[in-house]
Structure 1
Amino acid sequence: MASIHHSWRFVCCIFSVVIHCGSAIYHGYVPSPWTLAHATFYGDEFASETMGGACGYGNLISNGYGTDTAALSSTIFNEGYACGQCYQIRCVQSRWCYAGYTTVTATNLCPPNWSQDSNNGGWCNPPRTHFDMAKLAFMKIAQWKAGIVPIIYRRVPCNAIRKGGVRFSFQGNGYWLLVFTMNVAGAGDIKQMWVKGTKTGWIRMSHNWGASYQAFATLQGQALSFRLTSYTTKQTITAYNVAPANWKLGLTYQAKVNFH
Structure 2
Amino acid sequence: MGLLLTFSVLSFFVLFPELCRSEDPFICSRATYYGSPDCLGTPSGACGFGEFGRNINGGDVSAVAKLYRNGTGCGACYQVRCTQPELCSQDGVRIIVTDHGQGDNTDFILSRRGFGKLARPYMAAELIAHGVVDIEYRRVSCQYPGYNLMFKVHEYSRFPDYLAIIILYQAGQKDITAVELWQEDCQEWRAMRRAFGGVWDRANPPKGPLNLRFQVSGEEGQKWIQLRNVIPSDWKAGVAYDSAIQLF
TM-score computed with the length of structure 2 as normaliser:
0.77
Question: Is 1:181 the equivalent of 2:167?
Answer: yes
Q: CA deviation at 1:163?
A: 4.7
Matched with 1:236 is 224
Q: Structure 1 pair 34/163, CA: closer, same or farther in 2 (3 Å)?
A: farther
Q: Structure 1 pair 198/46, CA: closer, same or farther in 2 (3 Å)?
A: farther
SS of 2:59's equivalent in the other structure is coil
Question: Which of the pair is proportionally richer in strand?
Answer: 2
Aligned residue pairs total 218
SS of 2:70's equivalent in the other structure is helix
SS of 1:99's equivalent in the other structure is coil
* Unaligned stretches of 5+ residues in structure 2: 1-17
For 1:103, which of 82, 87, 94 is the aligned residue?
94
RMSD: 2.5
Q: In structure 1, how many angstroms separate the alpha carbons of the residues matched to 2:41 and 2:62? A: 12
Q: In structure 1, how many angstroms separate the alpha carbons of the residues matched to 2:97 and 2:182? A: 28
Matched with 1:151 is 135
Q: In structure 1, how many angstroms separate the alpha carbons of the residues matched to 2:106 and 2:29? A: 6
Q: CA deviation at 1:176?
A: 2.1
Identity of aligned residues (%): 27
Q: CA deviation at 1:43?
A: 2.1
For 2:108, which of 110, 131, 136 is the aligned residue?
131
TM-score computed with the length of structure 1 as normaliser:
0.74
Q: Quick one: which amino acid aligns to residue 170 of structure 1?
A: V
CA contact (8 A) 1:170 1:180 kept: yes
CA contact (8 A) 2:149 2:167 kept: yes
Q: Quick one: which amino acid aligns to residue 156 of structure 1?
A: V
For 2:192, which of 197, 205, 228 is the aligned residue?
205
Question: Is 1:245 the equivalent of 2:245?
Answer: no
Q: Structure 1 pair 62/35, CA: closer, same or farther in 2 (3 Å)?
A: closer
Q: CA deviation at 1:145?
A: 1.9
Q: CA deviation at 1:164?
A: 2.7
Matched with 1:78 is 69
Q: Structure 1 pair 138/83, CA: closer, same or farther in 2 (3 Å)?
A: same
Q: Structure 1 pair 85/163, CA: closer, same or farther in 2 (3 Å)?
A: farther
